[in-house]
A and B are shown apart, each in its own frame.
Chain A
Amino acid sequence: MTDEEWPLYEVFIRARSGLSHRHAGSVHAADDEMALNHARDTYTRRMEGVSIWVVRSDKIVASDPAETSAFFEPAEDKVYRHPTFYEIPEGVENL
């Protein structure tokens, strides 16, 4: 048997209903079911979650940190997307 490492999974946990899943860390596991069990034992020993997502780390598509400024550049010069861009005269309320 080759001693190849179990694949890596990223773990996302919903702390309680009403909140979104949040990245907690990673685990190694031979398959999806084991990844869920390992994630439970590793990251929720103190009731830290009501739901767990696991996904193979190599299935995640991520933006490249080296390209961060170019990648997010389109949003940079659009200050008018923010409410603070607009001047509201004194006396106008509920806006």
Chain B
Amino acid sequence: MYTQGLDQKTKTSDKPGPLEGPEQLAEFQARVDAEEKIEAKDWMPEAYRRTLVRQISQHAHSEIIGMQPEGNWLTRAPSLKRKAILLAKVQDEAGHGLYLYSAGETLGVSRDQMVADLLAGRAKYSSIFNYPTLTWADIGAIGWLVDGAAIMNQIPLCRCSYGPYARAMVRICKEESFHQRQGFEIMLELSKGTDAQKEMAQDAFNRWWWPSLMMFGPGDKDSKHSAQSMAWKIKRFSNDELRQKFVDVTVPQAQFLGLRVPDDDLHYNDETGHYDFGEIDWQEFLDVLAGNGPCNRQRMAQRTRAHEDGQWVRDAARAYAARQRAKAA
């Protein structure tokens, strides 16, 4: 998930490339309409390629940055079991980032370039990872809500028209299910615990509920990339449709946990069969995207430091490989 469909800072033109005749574009659209998968070396419109590079790299960056809020609790997990589970989950996030970078690379952009774009602030990652993990319950809330929202968004991406992205998503979705369940289980244990533990669970829920709803991106009327992405079958459902689905499945889970949804306007609508919910604070969303969320600077600083601290390892590995090659020659 984590593809909120946002513009990069450097605007790229959506004009067709020089060799894109209307016939070629129509042929491409016909393949997409016939549910044929587009593969790496196939001809594709330049705007299709750019949209995918933006979306896939944004998605990959989100997985990598997403390791930070959870990594924060690795050394303080309440038991060895929880620590082992959390380590496995954080390692999965790194793996998801790698699957996605390699899907992105099939479009002719190197991983180094994508990473450089992130570090230079030219590429974005999901707004959700700019919130802090203040208590252990936040780890539960992230697994349950953030990964739950991610699954909602990612399952349709398994049928995305671009083959390498779709295949990466199939792999990710299989693993994501463990993430969500371990999070729900943490919340379940807290909800059966002492008053202080119940309070901790409610507090985490209060803080993560709205940011989780924002993960689906702007409302349909404000989502400018959506129509074209739908036509290209990169996207299968609109932001609002997916958000509604998420609310509908999550509210009963919260009720099971004995948690109160922090939304006074939330109620079940008998006519539509869906939960109606209150207005999202879009100003908060925009602020976080603009770099002014609680943790934006910290996240980027840590990622940059990790990248720089790893430089000697990359250098050493290259030097070792060069020496082995020289010896063999």
Contacts and interface: CB of A to CB of B under 8 A. Distances in A.
Nearest to B317: A30
B105 interface: yes
A27 B324 contact: no
B125 interface: no
A65 B40 CA distance: 9
Contacts of B311: 3
B105 A66 contact: no
Interface stretch (A4-12, A73-81, A84-92): A4-12
A58 interface: no
A58 B321 CA distance: 17
A27 B98 CA distance: 8
B95 A45 contact: yes
Contacts of B314: 3, 6, 30
Chain B interface category by residue count:
20 to 34
Interface string B16-50: 00000000000000000000000101110000000
Nearest to A5: B112
A62 B105 contact: no
A27 B95 CA distance: 10
Given A5-B110, A64-B41, A34 B105 contact: no
A8 B109 CA distance: 13
Contact of B319 (A1, A5, A26): A1
B213 interface: no
A51 interface: no
B111 A45 contact: no
Contacts of B99: 25, 42
Interface string A40-76: 0110011000000000000000101110000000000
A30 B43 contact: no
Nearest to A64: B41
Given A5-B110, A5-B112, A62-B41, A30 B321 contact: yes
Interface residues of A, number: 21
B318 A30 contact: yes
B91 A45 contact: yes
Interface string A7-22: 0100000000000000
Interface in B174-227: 175
Nearest to A8: B105
Given A8-B105, A66-B43, A31 B321 contact: yes
A45 B92 contact: yes
B92 A30 contact: no
A34 B316 CA distance: 13
30 contacts: A1-B315, A1-B319, A3-B112, A3-B311, A3-B314, A4-B318, A5-B110, A5-B111, A5-B112, A6-B314, A6-B317, A8-B102, A25-B99, A25-B171, A27-B98, A28-B111, A30-B317, A30-B320, A31-B317, A31-B320, A31-B321, A31-B325, A41-B95, A42-B98, A45-B92, A62-B41, A65-B39, A65-B41, A65-B42, A66-B43
Given A6-B314, A45-B91, A65-B42, 6 more contacts: A1-B315, A4-B318, A8-B105, A27-B98, A41-B95, A42-B95
